[in-house]
Amino acid sequence: MTLELPPRLATDWLTRVLVLASGVVVEVVAARHPALPPGMGVVTLGCLLAWHWMRTRPGRLLCTASLEDDGRWQLQFRDGRRAAARLGPGSRLLGRSVILHWTMARGGRAVWLTPWDLPDADLRRLAVRLRALRHADRAPRPQVPTEP
């Protein structure tokens, strides 16, 4: 199963709105306190935008995520890099959306996929595969007798 991810996820747009709102709120609160220097909201906004840009710069954006038959994932980034990954414990099914948390050799990666990012059929198919993998992990393993 291969997921073709859009260049920008809906959560990226939501993050931008929340970053902007945070900067405005800090600026409004700082304006009500005369002892605080003006521009704190602008500084906060700049720091949050830099953090968001570091997380979503073009080289770090996922292009495709492929689930192999054995449960391993292959992630391909927009700059052409590939990485082998496995699904981490932070992965969740939330209504019609899916949070995927991958662990890789160097760090991890998480995406929140919503109906705005992928067609409903792909999200349903992904949810079924994740449930099947989760139940396969919970299945009791046969005990191999050890020799004395």
**pLDDT surpasses 80 at 103:** yes
Averaged pLDDT for residues 82-106: 83
**Nearest-angstrom CA–CA distance, 67 and 9:** 19
Token pair of 22 as six digits = 């945070």
Range scoring the smallest mean pLDDT among 12-16, 33-37, 124-128, 136-140: 136-140
Q: What percent of the chain has pLDDT over 70?
A: 86
Q: For the beta carbon of residue 126, count every other beta carbon within 10 angstroms.
A: 19
**Nearest-angstrom CA–CA distance, 97 and 100:** 10
Residue 104 pairs in a beta bridge with 85, 107
Q: What is the reported pTM?
A: 0.67
**pLDDT surpasses 80 at 8:** no
Continuous H helices in the chain: 10-31, 40-56, 120-138
pLDDT of residue 138: 56
**pLDDT surpasses 80 at 14:** yes
125: DSSP letter: H
**pLDDT surpasses 80 at 76:** yes
**pLDDT surpasses 60 at 145:** no
Averaged pLDDT for residues 63-72: 82
